[in-house]
Structure 1
Amino acid sequence: MATTAERPHLAVIGAGPAGLAATLAAAARGVRVTLVDAGAEAGGQFYRQPAAALGARRARALHHQWRTWEWLRDGLGEHRAAGRAAHLTGHHVWCVERESAGFAVHALRGPAQEEPAVVRADAVLLATGGYEVVLPFPGWTLPGVVTAGGAQALLKGGLVLPGRTAVVAGTGPLLLPVATGLAAAGARVAALVESADPRALLRRPSAPAAQPGKLAEGAGYAVRLLRHRVRVLVRHTVVEAHGTDRLEAVTVAALDADGRIRPSSERRIPCDTLAVGHGMLPHTDLAGTLGCRLSGHDVHVDDEQRTDVPGVWAAGEATGVGGAALALAEGHIAGRSIAARLHGREPDPGAWSAAARSRARLRAFFAAVDAVCAPPARWPDRVPDDTVACRCEEVTAGEVRAAATGLGAGDLRTVKLLTRAGMGWCQGRMCAPAVAGLTGCELTPPRRPFARPVPLGVLAEGPEDPAEEGSS
């Protein structure tokens, strides 16, 4: 029997549902796995856990699919105890390099994220998740306006309510657990404002057949919204957020079929918190650095979750946003495929046929969801020129528009060079969708050399001795 050091080595980047499922599948089949994640605990955003110091007695009340989380958590613990897996927390991966004998995963660790670390492996799984899209509107930079996922993270990870009276707005399935979670935790949710009409999903013949369980889950959320007396406004949007030092109210209005504001439909809702989101985009920075092919915004993978770069797999939101169940199926398939190929065997697709069927149904369902829950049409027409579009560099919508209409910018990079929109700390992750909408430029995934800011000292000195990374 091969010793631990002799086993093929897999680096999994991201400890959310996809990364955890892949870790368990690969480790159970003789692969040594190092799970590298920026979080202090495994789980990702979906299974985000309160810090142990908070002494949460009913953490499961903040989650559904708790038994699945327990299975993932306990499985990881067993593999770590047996020496088959290592879990590196607080490691922010900024680059993955191909080397002659495999891959080098470069990360930053420590309180200031300035300590270099590297993990060398024979194969890499990218389970890097996604990030929220938030489109600008007057007042969106006021304190009290947070992303929908940010409100959920405060509640799950810190047991903190972002405010006492909340409005949850935007579009997409994430709004439902955010609104019900805030209400169950004691906030008064004054309204859930959805710019799409989710009932349109029922008019798509393939969606209910593809995943009836998801429709039942949605019905469960609807019951909880009724129980907490949350007013649901479909085909509505937030027009403006009001306040001086912080949020005091929002104005919402109804939308017609063309995305225009219906006359005389505006209403003002007092609140101290607005949790807003307009869907998600995949994190593809590391995939881009490696040269992986992208299909639109998603990392392109085959039936085994392999990218077109040999030795690199991808799973979860990075390959297309579709929720935790899809991420689990993709992670399981990737882990089994990696294990077979690292042992020099051709994988047997029949071994993951159930996961493949689940993957197909969920992909079909979320394709229908994406079509229904797109950001409202004509939203750029409602953004005044003095509204900030890029928060990092304080670039207004008017300056962004002028770059296209007055200076001839025809792509996001040119707009960035002319206005500095996208040059700040987030490197365009927050503002790129807004800039694309305001200028009519195509929203294309950027190709960056690094996935996050890196101190110059780290680049100058190189990583520390990697011998201990992933060895425990």
Structure 2
Amino acid sequence: MPDSASEPFDLTVVGAGCAGLAGAVTASELGLRVCIMDGSGQVGGQFFRHPAPVLGARRPQALHHDWSAFATLRQRLETGDTHRLMRHHVWTVTRESGELWTVHAVAGADGDEERPVRVRTRAVLLATGAHERQLPFPGWTLPGVVAAGGAQAMLKSALVLPGKRIVVAGSGPLLLAVAASLAAAGARVPAVVEATGYLRYARHARALAANPHKVLEAAIHGASLLRHRVRPHTRSAVTAVHGTDRVEAVTVSRIDEDWRPVPGTGRRIMCDALAVGHGLVPQIELATALGCATRRTTDGTHALALDGLQSTSVPGVWAAGETGGVGGWQLACVEGELAGRAAAVRLRGTPMDAARVRELRRRRDRMRAFADAMAVAHTPHPGWTDWLGDDTEVCRCEEVTARRIREAAADLGARDARTVKLLTRAGMGWCQGRMCGAAVACLAAGAGDGGIPPSPERRPLAVPVPLRVLGSPAEADD
């Protein structure tokens, strides 16, 4: 830890999930002065989210597999010298003169306690994770409709369920994990509705063979669903939600290769909650604001372009985990360690452990190949827009309907999400397009590649920041 507020850290890690933890503890153990920052009150990120101590959970590990790996990382963090700044929401990173950076954050809980904080550092590791991709449909704004990962987060952090009878729907392997955990916690899960089919993985036999732990993980979830009598519906989608004050039922329809509903196949399933998500989108706003190069992923999202040691195109900025492409917690840990080692070599001249780096890179490439195969199998197809009625709200925050977006594209010439935003306010609400951005872009394009624009937006603010915080002098962390 620096001796004074004026002395910068060697490395500041933004994000305390698997990638951030692995990067922070590795760099600290190799002699760097490290600061780790996260908006949450606890380390662990989304995957290893766990109840706050005040809830008195006796066995938080029961909600996770591979808990021992996280416990080891947390122990290394707690016994080391890493400076922790929790409940700090980083909104931008700026370059100072020379090779110094300033990380700007809002600290404290909502309300009058919020205050601006700045952290000076010689290098930055971005491990900001991802958020869920949502595709709208009639009724998706009803109370009781939650994100798939959000349902799991409610269970892991607060020990509550979004309902008693929960349909899990969307696309991607997260659905199996969510359904298994909800069923194990006592919820009735009448169906898991998957838009694609798991047989698509057979086209990537080599990646499967190289990652047997992933196959085993899927088998464990499948066995759990079988034990709880959860019925899978593949090549199907929830195309409508029904209810007045909250969810009462959903319509599940068969869909074709383009994800268009097959006429006459809709059937209702009674439920009081729906957990839905269509994969994950890397959270790269901090990086793109710095000018870091990006790449198009196999499922149409944008991730950071990284070299063999996790460096971005901007010197002094590394990235690890979902920022470089969604791939799971084990891949995130490997990439975090690689980044931490690379930072130690550059900043302190620490000798490179060539054998360890080669092993890490082999493991990373093997797991990244599986992640790419997974993304291909679950990429959204453009026919999902046929789920929408003209009065379906696409932007929940600003209550912008599909009709208004289609009119902006057809009558006013809007061909991208930014232009639609200027004409309709879609994406200008509190979530800043995280919930509706993919859908708006897809509707504006008239077809689209899963609803992702050709290049990511560059935003000066990565998270919402109160004006009074922007107008106040920042405190230097000490």
Q: TM-score, normalised by structure 2?
A: 0.94
Determine if the alignment matches structure 1 residue 387 to structure 2 residue 392: yes
Determine if the alignment matches structure 1 residue 16 to structure 2 residue 17: yes
Aligned residue for 2:36, secondary structure, equals strand
Query: How do 1:230-309 residues align onto structure 2 when only pairs under 5 Å count?
Result: 230-296=230-296, 297-309=302-314
* Distance apart, 1:439 and its partner CA: 2.0
CA distance in 2, matches of 1:261, 1:111: 44
Query: How do 1:43-192 residues align onto structure 2 when only pairs under 5 Å count?
Result: 43-79=44-80, 84-100=81-97, 101-112=99-110, 114-192=114-192
Verify the 8 A CA contact 1:15 1:42 in the aligned structure 2.
yes
Q: Paired residue for 2:468, among 420, 434, 457?
A: 457
CA distance in 2, matches of 1:7, 1:282: 28
Aligned residue for 1:177, secondary structure, equals helix
Q: Per-residue CA shift, 1:51-75, capped at 9, x if unaligned? A: 1011001111100111101101111
Verify the 8 A CA contact 1:195 1:376 in the aligned structure 2.
no
Structure 2 match to 1:214: 214
* Distance apart, 1:217 and its partner CA: 1.1
Paired letter, 1:394: E
**Number of residue pairs matched by the alignment:** 462
Q: Per-residue CA shift, 1:215-246, capped at 9, x if unaligned? A: 12111111111001000111110010000010
Q: Paired residue for 1:446, among 457, 463, 469?
A: 457
* Distance apart, 1:3 and its partner CA: 8.7
* Distance apart, 1:457 and its partner CA: 2.2
Paired letter, 1:206: R
The gaps in structure 1 that reach 5 residues or longer are: none
Q: Per-residue CA shift, 1:14-62, capped at 9, x if unaligned? A: 0000000001110110001100011100000000010101100111110
Bigger shift: residues 351-360 or 203-212: 203-212
* Distance apart, 1:176 and its partner CA: 1.1
Change (3 A) 1:202 1:418: same
Structure 1 match to 2:420: 415
Verify the 8 A CA contact 1:145 1:273 in the aligned structure 2.
yes
Change (3 A) 1:413 1:3: closer
Aligned residue for 2:323, secondary structure, equals helix
Bigger shift: residues 344-353 or 305-314: 344-353
Aligned residue for 2:346, secondary structure, equals helix
Moved beyond 6 Å, runs of 4+:
2-7
State, as a whole percentage, how many aligned pairs show the same letter: 53
Verify the 8 A CA contact 1:341 1:347 in the aligned structure 2.
no
The gaps in structure 2 that reach 5 residues or longer are: 297-301
CA distance in 2, matches of 1:12, 1:240: 41
Determine if the alignment matches structure 1 residue 400 to structure 2 residue 426: no
* Distance apart, 1:346 and its partner CA: 6.9
Q: Paired residue for 1:425, among 425, 430, 433?
A: 430
CA distance in 1, matches of 2:258, 2:247: 29
CA distance in 2, matches of 1:376, 1:215: 25
Aligned residue for 1:353, secondary structure, equals helix
CA distance in 2, matches of 1:327, 1:405: 42
Structure 2 match to 1:38: 39
Q: Paired residue for 1:364, among 362, 369, 379?
A: 369
Change (3 A) 1:302 1:251: same
Q: Per-residue CA shift, 1:346-377, capped at 9, x if unaligned? A: 74543322221111011100111111111244
Change (3 A) 1:438 1:7: closer
Verify the 8 A CA contact 2:197 2:234 in the aligned structure 1.
yes
CA distance in 1, matches of 2:203, 2:149: 28
Query: How do 1:319-398 residues align onto structure 2 when only pairs under 5 Å count?
Result: 319-344=324-349, 347-398=352-403
CA distance in 1, matches of 2:337, 2:369: 19
Q: TM-score, normalised by structure 1?
A: 0.95
Q: Per-residue CA shift, 1:382-404, capped at 9, x if unaligned? A: 21110000011000001001111
CA distance in 2, matches of 1:146, 1:325: 26
Verify the 8 A CA contact 1:7 1:31 in the aligned structure 2.
no
* Distance apart, 1:381 and its partner CA: 1.7
Give RMSD over aligned pairs. Answer: 1.7
Verify the 8 A CA contact 2:30 2:350 in the aligned structure 1.
no
Aligned residue for 2:92, secondary structure, equals strand
Paired letter, 2:66: Q
Verify the 8 A CA contact 2:15 2:37 in the aligned structure 1.
yes
CA distance in 2, matches of 1:30, 1:9: 9
CA distance in 1, matches of 2:116, 2:179: 39
Change (3 A) 1:7 1:105: closer
* Distance apart, 1:467 and its partner CA: 4.4
Structure 2 match to 1:317: 322
Aligned residue for 2:189, secondary structure, equals strand
Aligned residue for 1:139, secondary structure, equals coil
Q: Per-residue CA shift, 1:107-142, capped at 9, x if unaligned? A: 101122631111111110000000000100000000
Structure 2 match to 1:205: 205
Change (3 A) 1:409 1:364: same
Change (3 A) 1:379 1:32: same
Verify the 8 A CA contact 1:315 1:327 in the aligned structure 2.
yes
